[in-house]
Amino acid sequence: MIPAYASVSKFSNFPQIAGFYSQLAGVLAGFAFAGLITLIASQLVSGSVADITLRSYRPLIGAFLGLVATSLNYAIVAGEDRDTPRLAELEVTAGLGFCVAALMVLYSILVLLRGVQTDLSGNGQMSGDTADLLRGTLIFGVCPLLVVMMYGTVRDHNIAKYGSADFRGLDIAVAIILLLTFCYMPVMKQNFRKPTSTRGQVDTIAKAGVILALLSLLASTLTISFSTPDETVSDYVPLLCVLILALYNFAVMYSASRYRP
């Protein structure tokens, strides 16, 4: 009899992929750290006109911490055996942290570009156009794509738990979440004409991103430490992860559509 988990890694070696993801997150964290050093050094320059830009460092700090946590998370996953049901569960927990970190990186860049646009006032048209392009890419491309990527981890969970790729209630729930994400897009497009300078939203999103990335790392650590390689989790766990990602998606989409410092 073929083990149910055998098909989880039939077409891919996820531990090896996780190793590459860990390296990618580490490299991006290095770039984020370099950006932070640049912003900090710029504050020591007298007569700097980049007042708003220099005060936009908090999302970048959140992105840096989230990427460090994600790199550690995937390093843990890379050490897991290839053909185990537990690997599918680690895909779910680590995937949540990776998606949140990706959103934080793009969102922090958007906040910085908006700061540059404001500081340069009439000369900041190029920064404004770039920020608008990034805003559209984030809302209409990246956010729904990340939900689709998380759905891939849900499918692997189903294969590991039930031994087949049949369409189940968990798939329907994730499909509804993805549909709501697409339905949310026209609302965000209307918000393009309703700018707001609420700094509280930016700080809340940055703090929430760090917390979610750390919780994702904690979940992977606990899974490795307190479960056997043959164990799987309840369907509510991947559903909760996708739901959390969707809620964070909505928060980022809403803030990105309206933020003007």
Question: Could you tell me which residues come within 8 angstroms of residue 121 by beta carbon, excluding any fewer than 6 positions away?
Answer: none
Q: What are phi and psi of 235, to 5 degrees?
A: -60, -20
Residue keyed to tokens 């599918």 = 88
Q: Residue range 241-261: average pLDDT?
A: 90
| Helix, strand or coil, per DSSP, at residue 124 | coil
How far apart CA 235 and CA 3 sit, in angstroms, is 19
| 240, pLDDT greater than 80 | yes
The CA dihedral of 112, 116, 117, 122, to the nearest 10 degrees, is 180
More confident residue, 5 or 147: 147
Written as six digits, the tokens of 17 are: 């992929």
- CB-based contact 216:97 (threshold 8 Å): yes
**Spatial distance between the Cα atoms of 27 and 12, rounded to a whole number of angstroms:** 23
- Tell me how far CA of residue 145 lies from CA of 48, 99, 139, 157, in angstroms: 39, 10, 10, 19
For residue range 20-33, list pLDDT tens digits in order.
Answer: 999 999 999 998 88
- List, in sequence order, the alpha helices (H) in the chain: 14-42, 51-54, 57-78, 85-120, 125-137, 143-162, 169-191, 199-226, 236-258
C-alpha 230: how far from its chain's center? 28
Would you state the pLDDT for residue 185? 81
Tell me, what's the pLDDT at 125? Answer: 66
At residue 4, the pLDDT reads 41
Residue 187 predicted with pLDDT over 90 = no
* pLDDT at position 43: 67
Rounded Cα–Cα distance for residues 53 and 49 (Å): 9
Q: What is the mean pLDDT of residues 116-140?
A: 78
Identity of the highest mean pLDDT range in 78-82, 88-92, 211-215, 252-256: 211-215
pLDDT band at 48 (very low <50, low <70, confident <90, very high): low
| pLDDT digits 0-9 by tens, 82-115 | 878 899 999 999 999 999 999 999 999 998 888 8
Tell me the pTM.
0.87
Contact 168, 155 (CB under 8 A): no
Q: Residue 152: phi, psi to the nearest 5?
A: -60, -35
List, for residues 62-89, the tens digit of each pLDDT value.
Answer: 999 999 999 999 999 998 888 788 999 9
pLDDT score of 47: 55
* Encoded tokens for 34: 């370099």
Beta carbons of 97 and 76 less than 8 angstroms apart = no
> Is the predicted pLDDT of residue 11 greater than 50, yes or no?
no
Query: Has residue 123 got a pLDDT over 70?
Result: no
Let me know: does 109 contact 134? Beta carbons within 8 Å. Answer: yes
Question: Which of 55, 54, 58 minimizes the C-alpha distance to 45?
Answer: 54
- Euclidean distance between CA atoms 210 and 189, whole angstroms: 27
Nearest to 202 by CA among 98, 56, 64, 28: 56
